[in-house]
Amino acid sequence: MLTLPRILFVRHGETDWNVEGRLQGQTDIPLNALGRYQSEDVARRLTKLLGDPANSRWIVSPLGRTRETAEIARRTLGLEPTAYETEDRLKEITFGIWEGHTWAELRGKFPTAEAERDKNKWDYVPPQGESYEMLVERLRPWLETVKQEVVIVSHGGVARALMAMIAEVPPHEAPRHDIHQGRVLVFENNRFKWY
C-alpha cells in the first residue's frame, strides 16, 4: 500500500455524451452548459477543502473536457486558469471501438458484450480497448510520483481505479461505484469521501 498525501479528485463536468449515455473513453467531447456550471460549483467545494488555493498543485488529464473543467474551476477560484500540469496517464479508460456508442447500440452490434463485461468489469477488455486492470498499470507509475497534496481533474474510470489502488476497494466493486460530477472525491489515509 502506497503512503500518499491527500488527493482531491474532480471528475470533469457533464457532456452531451454523458446525457446520451454514450461511452466517451478517450474521445474528446466538450462540456455542456450543466458541465460548465458543475465546474464552477466544484470550485466552491474546493474553497472549503484547500488551505490556500493559490498554493495548490493541479494535475489534469489532457482531454478537452477535463482541461475545460479545470480552467473554469481555477478561474472561479481566482487562479490563473491554465496554470496546471497535464498528465497523459490520467486519460480516461479507453473503450476502443465501443466509443461513441450507447449500450443499446452496442447490444445491437455485439449482443453478448454487455453481459460478458458485467461478469467481470475489472478485467474485461473491449475490442481495441482497455480493462480497469490495464488502467491501474498505466496509473501506478504516475501515482508513485505524487508526494504532495494535489488536485486531480480526470475521469470516472480513473477515479474507480484510484479507489482500488488507494482505498483498497475490491476490484470487483470499484467499477460499480458512481463517480459524481460537480463534487470532490477526497482520498486520504487510505479512504475516500465525497464533498
Active site residues: 12, 92
Query: Rounded to the nearest 5°, which phi and psi values hold at 140?
Result: -55, -50
Write down the H helix ranges in the chain: 16-20, 33-49, 64-76, 103-109, 113-119, 132-143, 156-166
CA–CA separation, 20 and 143 (whole Å): 32
Residue 155 · residue 92 · CB < 8 Å: yes
Query: For the chain, what is the largest distance between any 2 Cα atoms, rounded to a whole number of angstroms?
Result: 51
CA dihedral sign of residues 40, 44, 50, 54: positive
Write down the H helix ranges in 144-188: 156-166
